[in-house]
Structure 1
Amino acid sequence: MKSASTTQLAFALEILKRLAEKPYKRRELADELEIFLQQRGEKPGDVVQKLDRTIAKLRECGFEIDSTSHSPYVLRESNFPLILSPEQRQALGMAVQFLANMGFSAEAGHLLRLGKFPDVDRLSPVKVDFSPPVDYSEHRIPGIVEALQQRFDRQCRYTIRYRNTQGKERLWDLDRSELRLHEGTLYLFAYVPDLNSYN
């Protein structure tokens, strides 16, 4: 027999898990929680009342959950404590610096709050040279995605043209390439076609 406190904790965690996935309308969330309780072999009772009480308790614990009478529950910010190993903490700190240096300060701020770093300045510095010719700010993203979709529809090919400090140029075919981040360095693995084989 499960204790009442175990059931309440499992119920609260299930609410957080669901809201972390997407916003939920009150009735929809109550229906899914009723199924959850039945699967655990517990009597659901008045699930809507349990949901309201648990949401209120979660808010008291610092979870920012928005809702009004006609809008869904939305988890705005989670203050659930993360337990990270030193390596995971270092990797998260590196990601914060990487994003901040690339101009994604809002996203870096979210990770910073998530990791609760006491002193960001003590992290190993990461240098990023990211000056895209395109404005990737949030209001421009739909237009950029649409332009990319149009290029894919026209079956355009993508290449990277690289010129080194001596002025020597190389082309990389992006049809068969990928970017990888390894130990703080971003690598481009690209298939370089042998132009002589086309003759």
Structure 2
Amino acid sequence: MTSALLNLRKQAGFKNAKDFAAAEGIAEATYARYESSPEKIPLKSAWQLADRFGVPIDVIVGRRAVDVASLRGRVQEAYEALSDRSRASLDDYLAFLAQRDEREAREREARERRRYDAVCYRLEQVFLAGLEEDDPNLFAFGTGERMRAAFEAYVNRRADELQEPDVRSTSTKQIMAAYDRAHSTSRNGDMLVRKSQ
């Protein structure tokens, strides 16, 4: 009786164990042992294979019989019914969709970054106006590092005033990242490093 793992591998489109093992980063001899003796698969590897194929771990290690053909969904069956040319076209379209999703995710991140840049700018204007009155020496002669530390303390105080649980952990980090972008600095450990222009 063939193992469910062998059938799952074939169902995934891998005609031989060597190709599947290479794709998954498993030694070929090790994977061949998995197929011939599924009950001896180490737990971590069994979980990885179960996740890979989207089945319970009991199926991978042979504790539960399953009709692997029944695991195929309508989409997989439709894909397998296509000609090679149509499969290639569908693969190209799926790659296009993945690229579009990635581009849209980058655009969302850029919009979010611009939003934090604007928030940072407004907060910094209020901070500097108050600093000129409260600590004129820091305002006039403070180093970049001292100004940054004072601004970060100010942002944290404002976050505490809002009493929102996520503001301090997320928003303040984003605001300080915007501050660093605006001042062309980045954190390197505990040191501020001026970026080259």
Q: TM over 0.5, yes or no?
A: no
Structure whose residues are more often helix by fraction: 2
Taking structure 1 as the reference length, what is the TM-score of the superposition? 0.21
TM-score norm. by structure 2 comes to: 0.21
| Higher strand content, 1 or 2 | 1
More contact order relative to length (CA 8 Å, sep ≥ 6)? 2
